[in-house]
Structure 1
Amino acid sequence: MLRKIGKAAAMAGALMAGTMLLSSCSPSTKAPEARKEFNIGWSIYAGWMPWPYAQQAGIVKKWADKYGIKINITQVNDYVESVNQYTAGKFDGVTVANMDALTIPAAGGKDTSAIIVGDYSNGNDGVLLKGADNIAAIKGRSVYLVELSVSHYLLARALGEHGMAMSDVKTINTSDADIVATFGSPQANAAVTWNPQLAVMKAQPGVKAVFTSADIPGEILDLLVVDTATLKANPNLGKALTGIWYETVALMKRQDAQGKAARAAMAKLAGSTPEVFDNQLTTTYLYDQPKAAVAATTDPALVTTMTRVRDFSFSKGLFKGAASADAVGMSFPGGKVLGDPAHVTLRFDPSYMAMAADGKL
């Protein structure tokens, strides 16, 4: 259920970004306009299930009505396709991982604002080895993964943290749909993947998770992003979305009957069981308190994380047509800019989360 089609299957999105050559794309010059109806795309992932549940439970309508707007929450079965559709303008916002927000819409020239930092992977992604219990044993092995994805990034971080380089292994591109079966074959003894595939593969005899996203907390972030021009012209959209998120996540975190019922409903929407869904939440660090999300977004560690992410992305050719990793500009709270300040297309904007923290929504 979790990342069913694959948040980490961003290779396809990377190829889409490649067709939107950075050098040939420029931010739209169309003037922002005030509107009353908006479309938000989402795909299946434990940390994003509050969105469809909020629609089902009437929470979306409640907050949209408060601000005199209409918000449509639309599922896209393929995660990468949802991000591609946002990049193409079909959606005003989308649920997306930080790496993919950078390499797909931002690298494609679409000015994008991350207004909700919803969670980070805290064990949902992992490096698996057969017949070994430490990362050092990976040296010289062929590693099966979705190349140019969050899994690829995790592998690079695992190797770097233990004094190795990508040249110490051979990566073999494997789709998210095939990786479980592939890893079951005798010749496959190393892989990187995400839940639920991770849990299934880890349960095989002799398999150990030797490095997970819990070892790099806060680096694989899950966001809600919105088109910057649309947000600027329609700030009530940002307010409504933020209100929806925190009301729903607060309910989701409750341990009483109402919280249990909400999580069970989310599990059903994801095609899972309450038990499996609750288990996946244990490796998903949810920012259910807006104050904590603001702190994470304003922490200088975010700049460090995004520097690592963009350097990895550039090294793998995900900024097609770019002469350096600085080609895609990112802005952070406090006026910090990473990369080209004249070409900022990814903005971490905590202002709406701050409103929630201050009770001003």
Structure 2
Amino acid sequence: MIVSIRKAAGVAVMAGALLLASCSKPSDEAPEPRHEFNIGWSIYAGWMPWPYAQQAGIVKKWADKYGIKINIVQVNDYVESVNQYTAGKLDGVTVANMDALTIPAAGGKDTSAIIVGDYSNGNDGVLLKGADDLKAIKGRKVNLAELSVSHYLLARALNSVGMTLSDVKTVNTSDADIVGAFASPDVTAAVAWNPQLSVMKAQKGAHEVFSSANIPGEILDLLVVDTKTLKANPDLGKALAGIWYETVALMQQQDAAGKAARAAMAKLAGATPEAFDGQLSTTYLYSDPKAAVAATSSPDLITTMTRVRDFSYSKGLFPGAASADAVGMAFPGGKTLGDAQNVTMRFDDSFMKLAADGKL
């Protein structure tokens, strides 16, 4: 079984906000070009192409092409990986869209999402006992990791049936404890992500009444890179795009080579090939760079990020901000959301475009 450590934004903010509160805004001075870079990752189905690419020599191949060295660094705790990136110890990191916004971007670190790798297409779900209708959740206690993507999913689920978070009472429960909690007769509603979700769905009387498949494209998994580092070293972005698209093309193959790649990724994740394939079945991978570019340039992304930032702000995840507009975001085509004078999160599709055009 895959050990999921795509943890809660809320936990991350607790760890990260204290760090960021004492940090001044980065200097406007451009960094010097560099030769070696560190990219952090943690275990999650949609991010396993990165360590596999390193193991298979794909990272070295593309790094050599551009005369640089790229270290793909595992961080055993997802929260810690994002905090290390925010503190400047990593040049890039794998991260969910909500966490990229609420931790580095909200803390003033100018961050560019250069690869939109996948979205959760059923990896996150709302479960009820004794009812198969979402409306039956009204008035119940709901166990979940508060201030996380699970909390966001619950808000979206409730909204879909004319309810709000005030119609339920959330009970903060870590991903490590959520399976055991749901097994208790006293717990009749929960929100979780895989692999815990699949275990909980198998419990007697459990019904999945809403999932991330109902809001496709909203829970995104990204590769982000420090914007100033990227500007000084554009070859880093080119190499990373080359690594990603070569690797996901291989893992999508239904031949012996593709099967072997997926099996190797499963092993790196501490999973069986069958369990890993199950994770992938509810993970929509943007294996085609053209599809990733289209998703990144679509107005739907701005709608999604508006929802994400409004939810995040409402839950206090923008420390010290006077409004949800305090953190500026930039999108392809010169579009912005929030404070255009304080853009700290950028969706940069330029490297994905180079891959789509065969120009890497």
Q: Which amino acid aligns with 2:91?
A: D
Give the structure 1 partner of residue 292 of structure 2.
293
- Matches of 1:22 and 1:154, distance apart in 2: 28
1:154 aligns with 2:153: yes
- Matches of 1:12 and 1:145, distance apart in 2: 12
Q: Which amino acid aligns with 1:118?
A: G
Give the structure 2 partner of residue 142 of structure 1.
141
What CA deviation, in whole Å up to 9, does each residue of 1:303-351 have, x standing for no partner? 0000000000000000010000000000001111100011100000000
Give the structure 2 partner of residue 12 of structure 1.
11
Give the structure 2 partner of residue 303 of structure 1.
302
| Matched-pair contact (CA < 8 Å) for 1:249–1:288 | yes
Structure 2 counterparts to residues 1-361 of structure 1, below 5 A: 1-2=1-2, 4-5=4-5, 7-20=6-19, 25-361=24-360
| Matched-pair contact (CA < 8 Å) for 2:128–2:190 | yes
What CA deviation, in whole Å up to 9, does each residue of 1:252-304 have, x standing for no partner? 00000000000000000000000000111010000000000000000000000
C-alpha change, 1:3 and 1:289, in structure 2 (3 Å) is: farther
Secondary structure of the 2:329 match is strand
Q: Offset of 1:30 from its aligned partner? A: 3.7
Q: Which amino acid aligns with 2:176?
A: A
Q: What are the ranges of 5 or more consecutive residues in structure 2 without an aligned counterpart? A: none
Secondary structure of the 2:263 match is helix
| Matched-pair contact (CA < 8 Å) for 1:112–1:346 | yes
Secondary structure of the 1:118 match is strand
RMSD, matched Cα? 1.2
| Matched-pair contact (CA < 8 Å) for 1:20–1:108 | no
- Matches of 1:245 and 1:185, distance apart in 2: 42
Q: Offset of 1:229 from its aligned partner? A: 0.2
- Matches of 1:211 and 1:4, distance apart in 2: 20
| Matched-pair contact (CA < 8 Å) for 1:3–1:194 | no
Secondary structure of the 2:341 match is helix
- Matches of 1:347 and 1:27, distance apart in 2: 16
| Matched-pair contact (CA < 8 Å) for 1:60–1:244 | yes
**TM-score between the two structures when normalised by the length of structure 2:** 0.98
Instruction: Give the length in aligned residue pairs.
Output: 360
Secondary structure of the 2:115 match is strand
Q: Which amino acid aligns with 1:108?
A: G
- Matches of 1:32 and 1:24, distance apart in 2: 18
Secondary structure of the 2:14 match is helix
- Matches of 1:25 and 1:9, distance apart in 2: 25
What CA deviation, in whole Å up to 9, does each residue of 1:140-183 have, x standing for no partner? 00000000000000000000111001000000001111110011
Q: Offset of 1:31 from its aligned partner? A: 2.4
| Matched-pair contact (CA < 8 Å) for 1:23–1:321 | no
| Matched-pair contact (CA < 8 Å) for 1:21–1:320 | no
- Matches of 1:147 and 1:36, distance apart in 2: 40
- Matches of 1:127 and 1:136, distance apart in 2: 12
Q: Offset of 1:219 from its aligned partner? A: 0.2
| Matched-pair contact (CA < 8 Å) for 2:3–2:270 | no
| Matched-pair contact (CA < 8 Å) for 1:25–1:108 | no
What CA deviation, in whole Å up to 9, does each residue of 1:48-85 have, x standing for no partner? 00000000000000000000000000111111110010
| Matched-pair contact (CA < 8 Å) for 2:123–2:197 | yes
Q: Which amino acid aligns with 2:63?
A: A
- Matches of 2:132 and 2:150, distance apart in 1: 19
Q: Offset of 1:2 from its aligned partner? A: 4.5
Secondary structure of the 2:275 match is helix
How much identity, in percent, do the aligned residues show? 78
Q: Which amino acid aligns with 2:346?
A: R
| Matched-pair contact (CA < 8 Å) for 1:53–1:266 | yes
| Matched-pair contact (CA < 8 Å) for 1:22–1:109 | no
C-alpha change, 1:244 and 1:21, in structure 2 (3 Å) is: closer
| Matched-pair contact (CA < 8 Å) for 1:22–1:322 | no
Greater shift, 9-18 or 297-306, is seen at: 9-18
Q: Offset of 1:14 from its aligned partner? A: 1.5
